[in-house]
């Protein structure tokens, strides 16, 4: 093979990468070996090798084949969703804490208003439900799901720990005085909070952020994002101990308050950032949203299906569900209902806290209702 003939074989993984397929350098090497092994007698052999080595999932198979056709057969290829790119949601992660504006009592909207997007910040009122939040923070660690870790730790009443027993025996001339036992340790599952900050959720976003603050402060590993027309990571802001500081910081970060809802697209942006998608892996995912989606439900269903594949459990808190007669009737909500493990009320602070840890536990922990 002359170097020139090799060109499309090297261009193909590059084209894949450009379209968001994972294609590592080692896979390119495998691809070349595979093509060599299969003959190749025709373009079909090359395509078969590409399928086997790069392994596109069934839902991206068509896209994969289109890229293949473009590179090897020179057919035109239209990247999907290019028309909407101007409006597409973008991910935004506040870098170091140092870059963040220090919270002050002034409304920071003067700075924000200069942004081209005409996004604006919102300031929160003073926290008046401190008792409820304190109770929530006390109860939460016990209510968060745990999973068995692969690690064992010495514990009373577990299974016999032969390794330690043997070591003890060697120390004591082959006598076992006491049988050491061990047990699998448990770890908290990761928690991921996704908060819808679109216009229809206006009344609930503040409470949702407060709940998120409680979760971030108490859970071992938790992440929080707001989703609206864009995606904002607010985890760092919410790590502040002071409630008001944390909320003011988060409010300053989020620039798309009360905008339109493109939940599906924003979620797919979330999932396309590998670091973010990793937060959802094996995690308890809490979505606070009314599920009112502009346009058809297809994008939302596609992203929720992917999220379902990553998450351990998806809990959906909707302010609409606070009404006992609520039935998920909108197209989007009905379509994603099978993908959700639990749909519960999320109207105000108390409802959200109760949905997550249980009303009874909250009351016992001293929440005045």
Partner 1 sequence: MVVRRSIAGIDSPEALAEAMRAAQYIADEGLSTAAYLGLALGKPLLLEGAPGVGKTEAAKALAAVLGRELVRLQAYEGLDAAAAMYEWNFPRQMLAIRQAGDAYVNLYADDFLIARPMLLALQRPRERLLLIDEIDRADHEFEAFLLEFLSDFSLSIPERGTIRAVEPPVVVLTSNRTRELHEALRRRCVYHWIGYPDPQLEAQIVMMRASSVARDTAHRVVAAVGKLRAEPLAKPPGVAETVEWAEAATLLNAQGAPWPTAFARAIGVALKDQDDLAFVAPRLDRILQGAA
Interacting residues toward partner 1 by CB under 8 A: 22, 24, 26-27, 29-30, 33-34, 36-38, 48-49, 51-55, 57-58, 61, 147-150, 162-163, 165-166, 169-170, 174, 176, 184, 274, 281-282, 306, 309-310
Question: Whose Cβ is closer to partner 1: residue 4's or residue 150's?
Answer: 150
Give the separation between CA 186 and CA 152, rounded to whole angstroms. 9
CB 153 within 8 A of CB 182: yes
The DSSP code sequence of 19-71 is: TT----HHHHHHHHHHHHHHTT-SHHHHHHHHHHHH---GGGHHHHHHHHIII
In whole angstroms, the minimum distance from the beta carbon of 67 to partner 1 comes to 16
Question: Whose Cβ is closer to partner 1: residue 27's or residue 123's?
Answer: 27
Give the DSSP H or E segment for 279: helix 274-280
In whole angstroms, the minimum distance from the beta carbon of 269 to partner 1 comes to 17
Question: Whose Cβ is closer to partner 1: residue 53's or residue 286's?
Answer: 53
72: nearest Cα among 48, 47, 40: 47
Question: Whose Cβ is closer to partner 1: residue 103's or residue 328's?
Answer: 328
184: nearest Cα among 159, 146, 145, 152: 152
CB 189 within 8 A of CB 144: yes
Tokens of 57: 């999932």
In whole angstroms, the minimum distance from the beta carbon of 41 to partner 1 comes to 10
Give the separation between CA 310 and CA 165, rounded to whole angstroms. 40
In whole angstroms, the minimum distance from the beta carbon of 27 to partner 1 comes to 6
Give the DSSP H or E segment for 193: strand 191-196
351: nearest Cα among 338, 366, 367: 367
Helix, strand counts (H, E) of the chain: 16, 9
Question: Whose Cβ is closer to partner 1: residue 187's or residue 239's?
Answer: 187
CB 116 within 8 A of CB 110: no
Tokens of 25: 């350098």
Question: Whose Cβ is closer to partner 1: residue 143's or residue 159's?
Answer: 159
Give the DSSP H or E segment for 231: strand 231-233
In whole angstroms, the minimum distance from the beta carbon of 155 to partner 1 comes to 16
- Looking at residue 126, the DSSP 8-state letter turns out to be P
In whole angstroms, the minimum distance from the beta carbon of 105 to partner 1 comes to 44
| Three-state secondary-structure class, residue 281 | coil
In whole angstroms, the minimum distance from the beta carbon of 48 to partner 1 comes to 4
Question: Whose Cβ is closer to partner 1: residue 53's or residue 351's?
Answer: 53
Give the separation between CA 335 and CA 300, rounded to whole angstroms. 9
In whole angstroms, the minimum distance from the beta carbon of 11 to partner 1 comes to 20
Largest CA distance in the chain: 79
In whole angstroms, the minimum distance from the beta carbon of 49 to partner 1 comes to 7
Question: Whose Cβ is closer to partner 1: residue 169's or residue 292's?
Answer: 169
Calculate the CA 271 to chain-centre distance: 7
Question: Whose Cβ is closer to partner 1: residue 49's or residue 321's?
Answer: 49
Question: Whose Cβ is closer to partner 1: residue 161's or residue 293's?
Answer: 161
In whole angstroms, the minimum distance from the beta carbon of 23 to partner 1 comes to 9
């Amino acid at each position: 093979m002359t170097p020139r003939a090799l060109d499309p074989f090297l261009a193909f993984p590059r084209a894949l990468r450009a379209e968001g397929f994972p294609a590592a350098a080692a896979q390119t090497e495998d691809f070349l070996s595979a093509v060599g092994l299969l003959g190749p007698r025709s373009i079909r052999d090359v395509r078969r090798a590409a399928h086997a080595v790069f392994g596109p999932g069934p839902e991206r198979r068509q896209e994969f084949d289109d890229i293949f056709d473009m590179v090897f057969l020179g057919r035109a290829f239209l990247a999907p969703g290019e028309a909407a790119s101007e409006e597409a949601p973008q991910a935004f992660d506040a870098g170091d804490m140092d870059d963040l504006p220090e919270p002050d009592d002034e409304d920071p909207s003067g700075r924000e208003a200069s942004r081209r997007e005409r996004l604006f910040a919102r300031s929160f009122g003073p926290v008046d439900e401190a008792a409820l939040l304190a109770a929530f923070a006390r109860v939460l660690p016990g209510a968060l799901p745990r999973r068995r870790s692969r690690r064992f730790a010495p514990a009373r009443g577990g299974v016999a720990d032969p390794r330690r027993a043997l070591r003890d025996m060697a120390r004591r001339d082959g006598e076992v005085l006491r049988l050491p036992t061990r047990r699998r340790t448990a770890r908290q599952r990761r928690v991921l909070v996704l908060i819808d900050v679109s216009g229809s959720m206006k009344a609930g976003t503040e409470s949702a952020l407060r709940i998120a603050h409680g979760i971030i402060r108490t859970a071992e590993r938790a992440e929080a994002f707001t989703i609206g027309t864009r995606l904002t990571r607010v985890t760092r802001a919410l790590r502040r101990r002071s409630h008001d500081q944390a909320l003011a910081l988060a409010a300053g970060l989020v620039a798309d308050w009360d905008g339109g809802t493109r939940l599906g697209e924003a979620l797919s942006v979330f999932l396309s950032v590998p670091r973010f998608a990793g937060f959802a892996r094996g995690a308890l995912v809490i979505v606070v949203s009314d599920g009112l989606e502009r346009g058809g439900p297809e994008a939302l269903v596609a992203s929720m299906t992917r999220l379902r594949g990553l998450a351990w459990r998806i809990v959906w808190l909707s302010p609409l569900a606070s009404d006992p007669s609520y039935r998920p009737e909108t197209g989007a909500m009905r379509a994603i209902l099978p993908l959700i493990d639990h749909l519960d009320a999320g109207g105000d602070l108390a409802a959200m806290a109760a949905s997550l840890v249980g009303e009874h536990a909250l009351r016992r922990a001293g929440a005045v209702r």
